[in-house]
Amino acid sequence: MHKLFFSSFFVLVIFSCKQKKQYTRWEVFGGSKENIHYSTLTQIDTSNVNHLQVAWVYHTGDADTANHSQIQCNPIIIDGIMYATSPRLKLLAVDASTGKEKWVFNPQDSNQNRSFADFIMNNNRGVTYWEDGNDKRIFYTAGSLLYAIDANTGKMITSFGNSGRIDLHDDLGRDVHNLYVTATSPGIIYKDMIIMGSRVSEESDAAPGHIRAYDVHTGKLRWIFHTIPQPGEFGYETWKDTVAYKNIGGANCWSGFALDEERGILFAPTGSASYDFYGGKRKGAGLFADCLLAIDAATGKYKWHFQDVHHDVWDKDLPTPPALVSVMHEGKLVDAVAQCGKTGFVYLLDRETGKPIFPIEEKNVPTNSELVGEEILPTQPFPTLPRSFMRQSFTEADINDLLPDSSYQDLKKRFESYKTGNVFNPLSREGTIVYPGLDGGAEWGGEAFDPETGLLYVNANEIPWILSIAERKTESPKNETYLQAGTRLYQSSCMSCHGPDRKGSGNYPSLVEVNKKYDQQRFTELVSTGRRMMPAFKQLSDEEKNAIASFILNISSSQQKKFIAPAKPVDSFRNLPYTITGYNKFVSKEGYPAIKPPWGTLNAVNLNTGEIAWRIPLGEYPEFKQRGIITGTENYGGAIVTAGGLVFIAATRDGKFRAFNKSNGKLLWETDLPSAGFATPAMYALNGKQYIVIACGGGKLKTQSGDAYVAFALPDK
């Protein structure tokens, strides 16, 4: 306790001397370009937080409850105006002191020739602001388009790009217009450029995830960083196939950036290369997939990288922008970058060199894959410190024992049938337990860092998943019917998300009764455009889409029709021999996680020592709370930390918003939201009053969709 106090005290003293700005505003996604989710505002503190009350509520009016819409947006506040997005990707300007609407931009209004589905095909986690005198712009993405909007009027700035927008399919070095390209997280401003990442498909048809910088005035491309290196570029030799860069996609920065403006260094975390779960067509370590990249923000030139997973076949993307932190190490204050992973690790690296602050060891992992052509690499990196903020194994002793005996025995029997025992076990036909799971560990909500104490706050999911491999049927037999072709195409294109029985899996919905919602025309439009987590399948012909529709919608009138396969060139990179049978959480008959609680946690990690300062369950199930058991729940969205001694977080499926004492994790305040807050809150002050606002969009984890932004403040004296 004394060691922690003195370490924190010296960090506070040195930081106070060094600090050049106050974190009193929320003008950037994550609170600041350092992405530390931190506020120096102190009006709300540990002594009065229990008096918080609703200051205002704004309803967007466009929740899509039938399709489980969400709001994942971390809003920004500029000159008293909150800028945010709605469930259907409208851009909003709202008075941040009253909740009164200023203007709304609807992207569909300026794109009459585009399907409405184009504007609900991706979630949005935030927007970007730039100004030069009276020229004030909001940049945000809806569908595949990056818009420049006048912050004063809500009108498109037609001098930018193509009449006010840029198609993110462009400028990637090869034609990807039939592939899925969007951006769920906002770009970041460096001088007169907006730097953009992207979200792409996770299947074999993925576009490359190159990082691009555009001129904020004209929309012209200023630089591009190839996350899949090309001949002559550093990292090219880590791909065994010399033409992989022409065919492989992914390795994309989908979660956003952090930026050291003083040094001009952009920090970009990337995801895995595609296809996520089979690497036989992308052998080698595969830079710059699963990397934290340090890039010269002015030129896009490589500075350094750290790869957290070599040749990833487990979908262990780096899921959140890092936090730029200063930590005490060996008696010195070191500027570092803290990157949280789905693995439950914090990778703490020197900001200028990428050298680990604490040792990171390469350890042997299993390589005995049963998949033909797969080459698992023999080692993976494991940090010695900081300590993992979640469990790293799932053994028989960890099976959920809160259930009736019959359910427990069922879990035990299933557990014994799966491959387990190592976090990097190769995938298998019988099923492999993936734990930490596909949604973390950490997720896109990310971490909050307190410069006063050196504590990093990160929420974690502790849900095991099961991945099973199946052979993919890609060739079209002769004399197929529509039903036979639709079944085959479903297995090769849809089963990995919706499961072999069409009942859905993970975060993907059931398709069993989708014919009650869609006719053939609307269904094929959806397959063509995609929606949120579902990519667009523009590579499928109309004949193939109609065949899939006949199978999924059970259109008996067309199922016996002869299927005429379209002539297509053989694509050895995309016609993979394997797929997964679904994104399946390992749960009991009742739907509870197969592992003992906690199922979701909030953690405080001391970055000066590498030790866990405290850990608590985050969220609750009423039926277990009645028994005196706080289990935690799956959670999405991040925390913020304040100089007033508080950590605020929503994120949980129980729909509550909570404040904790940042020193010890004690719950100080909680309230029910109108819908679950799967988003990171924002904190700001106006006219002497401190506010905290959270998007309440629900929609995930079978919760009710919502359309509200709710702001809280202390009552007037």
CA atoms within 13 A on the CB side of 252: 27
What is the pTM (predicted TM-score) of this model? 0.91
The whole-angstrom separation of Cα 419 and Cα 428 is: 8
The whole-angstrom separation of Cα 556 and Cα 700 is: 33
Question: What integer pLDDT is reported at residue 543 of this predicted model?
Answer: 86
Helix, strand, coil proportions of the chain in percent (round to 5)? 15, 30, 55
The whole-angstrom separation of Cα 550 and Cα 520 is: 8
The whole-angstrom separation of Cα 652 and Cα 601 is: 10
Calculated CA dihedral for residues 698, 700, 701, 703, nearest 10 degrees: 30
Q: In whole angstroms, what separates CA 423 from the centre of its chain? A: 21
Fold of 473-575: Cytochrome Bc1 Complex; Chain D, domain 2 (1.10.760)
The whole-angstrom separation of Cα 584 and Cα 594 is: 12
Q: pLDDT class for 642, splitting at 50, 70, 90?
A: very high
Task: Kindly state the average pLDDT of the residues 253-280.
Answer: 97
Task: Kindly state the average pLDDT of the residues 350-355.
Answer: 98
Q: pLDDT of 16-52, one tens digit each?
A: 544 456 899 999 999 999 999 999 999 999 999 999 9
Task: Kindly state the average pLDDT of the residues 159-166.
Answer: 98
Task: Kindly state the average pLDDT of the residues 604-618.
Answer: 98
Q: Provide the residue ranges of all domains of the chain, joining segments of one domain with +.
A: 473-575
In angstroms, the first-to-last Cα distance of the chain is 38
Question: What integer pLDDT is reported at residue 506 of this predicted model?
Answer: 67
Q: pLDDT of 76-95, one tens digit each?
A: 999 999 999 999 999 999 99
Q: pLDDT of 594-604, one tens digit each?
A: 999 999 999 99
Write down the mean pLDDT value for the chain: 92
Residues 428 and 278 sit within 8 Å (Cβ to Cβ): no
